[in-house]
């Protein structure tokens, strides 16, 4: 991974696209979403509720992470869905570390996915 990409991944909240494989159709599904760099970990999360992109990643964790800002890149990745309640709470606490504790929304019901980048061969 080159230095431009590494710097782009350092942003705290960045809009990207991800392309997953549809769990029923097997076709590519591209969606715009935010990622967060939380203590050096790339985390995708969202509002509580069911999400098609999450269901697709549970069925097939291989996806493409598309940087689309000043730095553009299509990065192959693997999703690690985070279900452990303690780990989920720790991620939310770290994300809102610099804010008033009353501003931190609950972790329950939110999707949490850690992005693990795969090396290109």
- What DSSP letter does each residue of the chain carry, written as one string? --HHHHHHTT-SEEEEEEEEE-TTT--EEEEEEEEEEETTEEEEE-SSS--HHHHHHHH--EEEEEEESSSEEEEEEEEEE---HHHHHHHHHHHTTTS-GGGPPP-TT--EEEEEEPPP-
Share of the chain above pLDDT 70, in %: 90
Question: Span 3-117: which CATH code?
Answer: 2.30.110.10
Share of the chain above pLDDT 90, in %: 55
- Residues 90-119: tens digit of each pLDDT: 888 887 776 655 555 556 778 899 999 997
What integer pLDDT is reported at residue 54 of this predicted model? Answer: 95
Domain ranges in the chain are 3-117
- Residues 39-67: tens digit of each pLDDT: 899 999 888 888 999 999 999 999 999 99
């Amino acid at each position: 991974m080159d230095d431009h990409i590494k710097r782009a991944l350092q942003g705290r909240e960045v809009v990207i696209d991800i392309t997953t494989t549809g769990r029923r159709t097997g076709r590519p599904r591209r969606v715009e979403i935010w990622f967060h760099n939380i203590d050096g970990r790339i985390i995708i999360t969202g509002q509580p509720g069911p999400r098609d992109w999450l269901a697709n990643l549970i069925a097939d964790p291989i996806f493409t992470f598309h940087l689309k800002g000043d730095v553009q890149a299509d990065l192959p990745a693997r999703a690690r869905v985070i279900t452990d309640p303690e780990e989920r709470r720790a991620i939310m606490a770290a994300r809102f570390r610099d804010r008033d504790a009353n501003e931190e929304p609950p972790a329950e019901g939110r999707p949490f996915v850690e992005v693990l980048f795969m090396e290109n061969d």
